[in-house]
Amino acid sequence: MYTLYSMQNSGNSYKARLLLARLGISYRLVEVDILKGETRTPEFLARNPEGRVPVLELAGGRHLAESNAILAYLAEGTRFMPEDRLERAEVLRWMFFEQHSHEPSIAAARFWLHLVKGGRELKTHDIDHWMEQGYLALSLMERHLASHAYFVGPRTTVADLALYAHTHVAPEGDFDLAGYPAVMDWLARVAAEPGHVAMSERPAGASAGWDRLARA
Ligand X SMILES: N[C@@H](CCC(=O)N[C@@H](CS)C(=O)NCC(=O)O)C(=O)O
Name the site residues for ligand X (rule: CB under 6 A).
7, 10-12, 34, 39, 51-54, 66-68, 99
Contact 2, 29 (CB under 8 A): no
Choice between 109 and 179, CB closer to ligand X:
109
Instruction: Specify the amino acid at residue 186.
Output: W
Find the angle CA(123)-CA(124)-CA(128) to the nearest 5 degrees.
105
Q: Which lies closer to ligand X via its Cβ, residue 1 or residue 35?
A: 35
CB of 186 to ligand X, least distance (A): 21
Q: What is the CA radius of gyration of the chain?
A: 17
| Distance (Å) of CA 59 to CA 4, 28, 32, 165 | 12, 12, 20, 26
- As measured in angstroms, the least distance from the Cβ of 181 to ligand X is 28
Closest distance between ligand X and the C-beta of residue 214, in Å?
17
Least distance from ligand X to the Cβ atom of residue 8, Å: 11
Least distance in angstroms from the C-beta of 66 to ligand X: 5
- Per DSSP, the three-state class of 149 is coil
Name which of 10 and 156 has its Cβ closer to ligand X.
Answer: 10
Amino acid at 93: R
Nearer to ligand X, 68 or 157 (CB): 68
Residue (41 or 99) nearer to ligand X, CB: 99
Residue nearer to ligand X on the CB measure, 99 or 184 = 99
Provide CB contacts within 8 A for 30, sequence distance 6+.
Answer: 3, 4, 5, 6, 209, 211, 212, 213, 216
CB of 63 to ligand X, least distance (A): 12
Chain centroid to Cα 57, Å, comes to 17
